[in-house]
Amino acid sequence: MTTKGFIRVAAASPITNVADIKFNLNNINNCIDNALDQGSKLIVFPELCITSYTCADLFAQQLLLNKAVEGVEDVCEYSKGKDILIAVGASLTYNNCLYNCAYIIFKGKVLGIVPKSYIPNYTEFYEKRWFTEGLGIINKKVDLFFQKEIPFGTNLIFTCGEFKFGFEVCEDLWVTIPPSSYLSLMGANIIGNLSASNEIVSKADYRKDLIKSQSARCISSYIYASSGVFESTTDLVFSGDLLIGENGNLLKHNDRFQRQNEVITSIVDVNKLNSERLRNVSFRDSVKLIPFEPLQINFEFESVDYKNFDRYIDKHPFVPSNKDQRNIRCKEIFNIQTSALAKRITHTGLKKTVVGISGGLDSTLALLVMIKTFRMLNIPSENIITVTMPGFGTTDRTYNNAVSLCKDLGTELREINIVPACLQHFKDINHDVEKHDVTYENVQARERTQILMDIANKEGGLLIGTGDLSELALGWCTYNGDHMSMYGVNCSIPKTLVRYLVKYVAETEVSKEVSDILIDILDTPVSPELLPKDKSGKIAQKTEDIVGPYELHDFFLYNFIRQGAEPDKILFLAKEAFKDDYDSVTIEKWFETFIKRFFTQQFKRSAIPDGPKVGTISLSPRGDFRMPSDASYNLWK
């Protein structure tokens, strides 16, 4: 099976008549066909949907209980030749007790039966009048009239390769330690919940929160299906709530209170979940708490083709697409950056900082962080020493923006032209000034860093680094040049997010004059300006022409580090996300660049200064990422 860990799952709420099993089965079968047509490999139905949930004292009628089991047989018959795992709800009589169960059916056979562990008997619920809790039932076998020796218990894991399914029933999700917590620790990465949850004001929001929270806690997918509006309304109303979650996110949900059969589907990413579990040491340690061994029930899909790939792939995973959420994220990041810098300043007892200002995005962001930090500490902005250091490639646009920004923000501005010093250095090392190679570029970067370091020493200040996460990932910095500082405030912020942080400040926190400068900086091409400008005086050296688009590299970085995804999967996701922006050849070209640079430039990341982690990815050798500087990238080609 080569689906890169993707599988389509479904949640269904069929039309039901209370105690009308034949009618209910017809609608259950229609939902199965609907899910199959969409390419689903799992369908989860509501609890007790074969009879309906609200039969009340009719559950004491032997006729209803017998017909319910016959209904399970009918679903088995209907499932023959159908390549889909079915979780359907019905009662089971076992050892003179009645259980509310999930029957797990595949191709004409009941693979296993999972009893509801917890039976609610409070407020509007009165289930213990009819049902017995299944808590503690493990490794049992039951016989039905059409099939013998069926596994019965709360420890069943239904396994097809990397796809491992576990099931719980309604109230089980609401308890202190849901059975799905144990099922996840036993390996289940897809959890189904067969439910009948009535509606009262705000309960739907709470259900969503529960499902998102449990899927995050279990690092799993969670498929929830609840009974619909055709249940009895003697005292309660049900809405047919359908939800599909994945590791804290809600992938799909329906519009409740529908009056027809309803099926929702979504593609879930099991590889991503498994990778996250491997990374999460606390999850692994929790495995020691499992009170019993799982019973693995193996089966095999004919294929796991999910048909149309309609899973949303965020092309900018570091940047929220919703503006309000993005502004909240930006505010939070600024609070982290400024708090980090404030701690370093108060710890050192220094009252001054130094930063090189180029008129580019990264140095602008660092300066904005410094301004906000100094205001927080009640230190005058004049104590921020900003240094602009024009060189061979500095353009009027970046120079003027740098000077204007520093003046408008009230910093102490110094200008030091590095051209004479660089020319002298070229002479000292016998380098031809007309040879515009890496030495030509790095001499300028190191000269600037030397100036900044020495000013910091002379003034008793802290040199603030400006490099961002994307540059670190690509090694797009000069070793012991812009690579070095005394504290780096941008070190875990990717380039795609830097842009929005600057934009956020321009829109919310500064004067019109400063905002206009920031907007122009945002419109300026990203460049180190280390090569001479063109004949018209404009930037000749554009970073993204050399190393590739930062939006692609940030996408590669997120999926490579955060998801641990293999190259073919990263390329698949990139081609899906950017299908309207880049062709396949372009994406493959820049991915090859990313992998090569990421591995060969690790030695720079092994020696970076301190700086705060602000998001889920950091490449600090002291924090999140430890990699040998001489690792081969051949496997990832």
pLDDT digits (tens, 9 = 90+) for 485-513: 999 999 999 999 999 999 999 998 889 99
Q: Locate 588 and state its tokens.
A: 């493959």
Binding site feature residues: 122, 197, 203, 356-363, 442, 466, 471, 476-479, 604
- Which pLDDT does position 529 carry in this prediction? 67
**pLDDT band at residue 539 using 50, 70 and 90 as cut-offs:** low
231 is catalytic: no
- Which pLDDT does position 526 carry in this prediction? 78
Lookup result for tokens 């004919």: 302
Q: From the candidates 47, 199, 262, 551, give the one annotated as an active-site residue.
A: 47
Q: Which residues are bridge partners to 427 per DSSP?
A: none
Q: From the candidates 41, 82, 107, 116, give the one annotated as an active-site residue.
A: 116
Binding site feature residues for deamido-NAD(+): 442, 471, 476-479, 604
Rounded CA separation 156/175 (Å): 19
DSSP 71-123: HHHHHHHHHTT---EEEEEEEEEETTEEEEEEEEEETTEEEEEEE-S----ST
Report the chain's C-alpha Rg in angstroms. Answer: 31
- Which pLDDT does position 124 carry in this prediction? 86
- Which pLDDT does position 579 carry in this prediction? 95
Task: Out of 97-101, 170-174, 563-567, pick the least confident.
Answer: 563-567
Helix (H) or strand (E) holding 96: none
Residues contacting 512, CB < 8 A, separation 6+: none
Whether 394 contacts 496, CB under 8 Å: no
Q: Which residues are bridge partners to 242 per DSSP?
A: 225
10 Å Cβ neighbour count for 190? 26
State the helix-helix crossing angle for 361-376 and 495-508, rounded to 10 degrees: 50
Kindly list the domain boundaries of the chain, sorted by start residue: 8-298, 323-542+604-625
- Which pLDDT does position 1 carry in this prediction? 46
Q: To the nearest whole number, what is the mean pLDDT of the chain?
A: 94
Alpha-helical segments (H) within 478-608: 495-508, 512-522, 543-546, 550-557, 567-577, 584-600, 602-605
Task: Out of 40-54, 103-117, 315-329, pick the least confident.
Answer: 315-329
**pLDDT band at residue 2 using 50, 70 and 90 as cut-offs:** low
Q: Domain 8-298's class?
A: alpha beta
**pLDDT band at residue 530 using 50, 70 and 90 as cut-offs:** low
Task: Out of 35-44, 58-67, 222-231, 285-294, pick the least confident.
Answer: 285-294
10 Å Cβ neighbour count for 517? 24
> Average pLDDT in the 377-406 region?
94
Q: 185: closest CA among 268, 256, 285? A: 285
- Which pLDDT does position 155 carry in this prediction? 97
Q: From the candidates 170, 218, 406, 422, give the one annotated as an active-site residue.
A: 170
- Which pLDDT does position 209 carry in this prediction? 96
Residue 537 has pLDDT above 80, yes or no: no
pTM equals: 0.90
**pLDDT band at residue 144 using 50, 70 and 90 as cut-offs:** very high
Q: Locate 192 and state its tokens.
A: 């189904």
How confident is the model over 576-590, as pLDDT tens digits?
999 999 999 999 999
| More confident position, 534 or 323 | 323
Identify the architecture of domain 323-542+604-625 in CATH.
3-Layer(aba) Sandwich (3.40)
> Average pLDDT in the 237-252 region?
96
70 is catalytic: no
- Proportion of the chain above pLDDT 90, given as a percent: 90
Alpha-helical segments (H) within 3-150: 21-37, 62-79
> Average pLDDT in the 111-135 region?
95
> Average pLDDT in the 330-337 region?
96
Rounded CA separation 102/114 (Å): 5
DSSP 187: T
Rounded CA separation 75/28 (Å): 8
76 is catalytic: no
Residue 531 has pLDDT above 80, yes or no: no
Binding site feature residues for ATP: 356-363, 466
> Average pLDDT in the 193-222 region?
96
Whether 283 contacts 244, CB under 8 Å: no
Residue 540 has pLDDT above 70, yes or no: no
